[in-house]
């Protein structure tokens, strides 16, 4: 079996930077990802959004200016993404020709960006940009935003994640950031020991490390690796399990939108094997589709998604387009299907086979290999080989999947029903 994840070789440089490299001989390019092992989860209290804001400031304070960087990568036909902030990480990615002198220049730019900057410029300019970004990211009406915040607070009851639902932060916290806050975040988290570099392409680890060693990526800067969050063996109990809102009531008039929505979230222990809720979701979705859409025609589509929060897992059930009177019916069908689905052994076998086999058919390119590997570092602290991932999927039993059911009981979920 082709196992590209098993091909990575790893070296930790004297300054603490970890380099993972998968050598694909004869490729004329390299694809590179830098992962800072900190993100919005490391935002100080009352400064929610600081990691994302720092990502903006890092670009604003490039000694060369960001225009120069874009032009540099354009000139070589490569691409660069200067920053994406999530709860557990901040990432920078690029692609470039497999050529030592271009790599030297690219790594000098990125080394400066990651480790040697002074956050002296652009505080107010970036604040304006990020405040606009925050405003644009909100739903159309304030009550919708309040509902999302409330649902999140209820779901993560007492856990530090309950304070913000997106890495962006809020207008009130963004307004508070000082230059010192940004510099402190940067000096604490943008340090070699807290950064992993993932490289795939025509360059091997030895050549790569030789080039890196002559750039600011090899700079000494004190600091430590932010540890993986500890997996919780129990999810918090929700503050409130059902929220019901009427659009028409909130707006005072009908806005002509004849649709409502049904969204239900559940958190599962982070110690649970993550493939169990994944398979459970694959089984539940067709059953809900059949009952809610095909048999009753109450909605257009149903989705069941899984999310890995590292310390917890999440299942989200969602559908919309229902009429006023169908809300309770949908709610009942979801409750019932959550129980019924695990009695269908055929569905279990079918979805498990699909989950195992589809993995072997993944049409993997270097870009997805880099990003999947960075995900592995986020969730497991190491790159997981294809063999190991296959074993995780193959070893699932119906008992594993049944364990999910009791965690999805109505009072363990947070359900938001928006009536038309
Ligand atoms: Zn942004």
Domain assignment of residue 268, yes or no: yes
* pLDDT band at residue 251 using 50, 70 and 90 as cut-offs: confident
Across the range 229-246, mean pLDDT stands at 94
- Cα 21 to ligand 1 centre (Å): 29
Share of the chain above pLDDT 70, in %: 99
Domain assignment of residue 226, yes or no: no
- Same-domain check for residues 258 and 340: yes
- Same-domain check for residues 262 and 212: no
- Cα 54 to ligand 1 centre (Å): 9
Global pTM reads 0.94
pLDDT at 171 > cutoff 90: yes
Across the range 134-152, mean pLDDT stands at 93
pLDDT at 325 > cutoff 90: no
- Cα 410 to ligand 1 centre (Å): 36
Closest C-alpha among 192, 171, 155 to residue 309: 155
- Cα 133 to ligand 1 centre (Å): 7
How many separate domains does the chain show?
2
Token digits for 217?
């990526």
- Same-domain check for residues 209 and 327: no
pLDDT at position 231: 95
- Integer Cα distance of 210 and 374 in angstroms: 22
- Cα 255 to ligand 1 centre (Å): 31
- Cα 179 to ligand 1 centre (Å): 17
The answer to whether residues 354 and 285 touch, using CB atoms and an 8 Å cutoff, is no
- Cα 134 to ligand 1 centre (Å): 8
Convert the pLDDT of each residue in 43-67 to its tens digit.
999 999 999 999 999 999 999 999 9
Domain assignment of residue 299, yes or no: yes
pLDDT at position 258: 67
- Same-domain check for residues 280 and 214: no
- Cα 52 to ligand 1 centre (Å): 6
- Cα 51 to ligand 1 centre (Å): 10
The answer to whether residues 284 and 337 touch, using CB atoms and an 8 Å cutoff, is yes
- Cα 78 to ligand 1 centre (Å): 22
- Cα 123 to ligand 1 centre (Å): 14
- Same-domain check for residues 213 and 246: no
- Same-domain check for residues 190 and 331: no
- Same-domain check for residues 208 and 321: no
* Mean pLDDT, rounded, of the chain: 95
* pLDDT band at residue 326 using 50, 70 and 90 as cut-offs: confident
Give the CATH number, domain containing residue 97.
3.30.830.10
Convert the pLDDT of each residue in 60-90 to its tens digit.
999 999 999 999 999 999 999 999 999 999 9
- Same-domain check for residues 261 and 133: no
- Cα 126 to ligand 1 centre (Å): 9
- Cα 281 to ligand 1 centre (Å): 31
**Which domain does 386 fall in, by range?**
242-419
- Same-domain check for residues 116 and 49: yes
Convert the pLDDT of each residue in 258-312 to its tens digit.
678 999 999 999 999 999 999 999 999 999 999 999 998 888 899 999 999 999 9
The answer to whether residues 113 and 62 touch, using CB atoms and an 8 Å cutoff, is yes
- Same-domain check for residues 406 and 328: yes
């Amino acid at each position: 079996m082709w196992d590209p994840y098993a091909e990575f070789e790893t070296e930790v440089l004297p300054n603490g930077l970890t380099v993972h490299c998968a050598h694909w001989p004869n490729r004329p390019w390299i694809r590179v990802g830098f992962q800072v092992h900190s993100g919005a989860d490391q935002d100080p209290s009352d400064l929610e959004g600081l990691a994302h804001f720092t990502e903006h400031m890092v670009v604003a304070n490039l000694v060369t200016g960001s225009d120069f960087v874009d032009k540099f990568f354009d000139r070589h036909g490569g691409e660069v993404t200067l920053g994406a902030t999530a709860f557990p990480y901040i990432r920078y990615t690029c692609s470039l020709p497999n050529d030592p002198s271009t790599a030297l220049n690219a790594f000098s730019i990125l080394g400066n960006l990651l480790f040697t900057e002074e956050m002296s410029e652009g505080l107010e300019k970036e604040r304006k940009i990020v405040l606009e970004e925050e405003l644009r990211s909100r739903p159309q009406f304030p009550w919708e935003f309040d509902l999302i915040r409330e649902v999140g607070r209820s779901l993560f009851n007492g856990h530090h994640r309950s304070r913000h639902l997106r890495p962006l932060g809020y207008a009130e916290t963004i307004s508070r950031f000082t230059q010192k806050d940004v510099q402190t975040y940067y000096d604490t988290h943008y340090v070699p020991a807290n950064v992993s570099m993932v490289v795939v392409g025509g360059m091997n680890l030895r050549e790569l490390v030789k080039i890196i060693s002559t750039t600011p990526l090899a700079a000494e800067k004190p600091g430590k690796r932010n540890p993986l969050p500890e997996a919780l063996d129990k999810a918090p109990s929700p503050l409130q399990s059902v929220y019901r809102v009427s659009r028409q009531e909130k707006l005072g008039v009908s806005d002509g939108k004849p649709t409502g929505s049904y969204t239900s979230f559940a958190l599962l222990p982070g110690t649970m094997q993550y493939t169990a809720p994944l398979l459970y979701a694959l089984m539940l979705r067709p059953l809900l589709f059949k009952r809610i859409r095909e048999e009753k025609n109450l909605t257009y589509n149903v989705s069941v998604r899984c999310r890995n929060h590292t310390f917890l897992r999440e299942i989200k059930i969602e559908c919309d387009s229902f009429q006023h009177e169908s809300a309770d019916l949908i709610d009942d069908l979801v409750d019932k299907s959550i129980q019924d689905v695990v009695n269908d052994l055929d569905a279990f076998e079918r979805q498990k086979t699909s989950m195992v086999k589809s993995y072997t058919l993944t049409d993997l390119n270097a870009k997805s290999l880099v990003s999947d590997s960075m995900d592995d570092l986020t969730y497991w602290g190491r790159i997981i080989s294809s063999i190991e991932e296959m074993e995780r999927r193959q070893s699932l039993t119906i008992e594993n999947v049944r364990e999910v059911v009791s965690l999805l009981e109505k009072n363990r979920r947070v359900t938001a029903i928006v009536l038309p």
